[in-house]
Structure 1
């Protein structure tokens, strides 16, 4: 596993070593011992989720608050997405900054999104299957979010806003400067 540090402390890109031959490929998508060693602390994932989306679907920016905060290890099984993580840790030097990375079935990259981040993604391929591990269980009462186009964050989603497909719920999310964790 190759670890690439991003501009935001603790938000890490993971690239697996992929073994390819005439039969296809093999890679280790997760190894707790190596993961914890490279992250610097133990993360116990308790829930796996998967979503299927069409081109130009934007999901996010979502997070879980308080005792139900979640760290996520995200990847794309099929297709390609622009994945975004926004630092919501008030004490962080990078508070309000974001990281974006292309995750795809070809590059097999994963992004570790620590607790204290909002997360979202935009589907770039015709369809995408997005898979992620969480270190805490989902709790509806702890849901939070930030509107995807908040000017304070200035996220470059790389396509025109009129092309985006966004749920009504996500279109009603509050601005960054109004959130309380």
Structure 2
């Protein structure tokens, strides 16, 4: 697995090693030990979620607050999206900054979004199936968010 830390501390882009032959392909999409060794974290995922959206849909920016904060490992099973992570940790040197990553079923890239980040995506393809692993259980009362088009963030979700 190839891993690259983004400009935001603790936020990583992961690319699995894909093995292809005439029958198709195989790749390991997640291995807890490898993931923790490469990221230097001690992340244990407890919940998987999947969503379906159509072209032009924007989901986010949202997060879980306090004791219900969630780290997420996200990827696209069908289609393509622009995925956005925003550092919402007030004590972070990259507070308010974001990264935007093109995720698709073709490139198999994943984005690790640490706790304390807002997260969202914009669907570029006709349809997208989005999958994410969470390290904490969802709690509706702790949901928080901000508009994706907030001028302070200057996020472009259409490319």
Residue segments in structure 2 that go unaligned for 5+ positions in a row = none
Supply the distance in 1 between the matched residues of 2:158 and 2:125 (Cα, whole angstroms): 13
Question: TM-score, normalising length from structure 1?
Answer: 0.87
1:15-30 paired onto structure 2 within 5 Å: 15-30=15-30
Partner of 2:86: 86
Contact 2:122 2:158 in 1 (8 A): no
Task: Encode CA deviations 1:66-114: one digit per residue, 9 max, x unaligned.
Answer: 0000000000000000000000011111000000000000100000000
1:12-161 paired onto structure 2 within 5 Å: 12-158=12-158
Task: Encode CA deviations 1:137-161: one digit per residue, 9 max, x unaligned.
Answer: 00010000001110011101136xx
Supply the distance in 1 between the matched residues of 2:134 and 2:157 (Cα, whole angstroms): 24
Quick check: which one's helix share is greater?
1
Question: TM-score, normalising length from structure 2?
Answer: 0.99
Divergent runs of 4+, >3 A: none
Supply the distance in 2 between the matched residues of 1:157 and 1:54 (Cα, whole angstroms): 14
Post-superposition offset of 1:5: 1.4
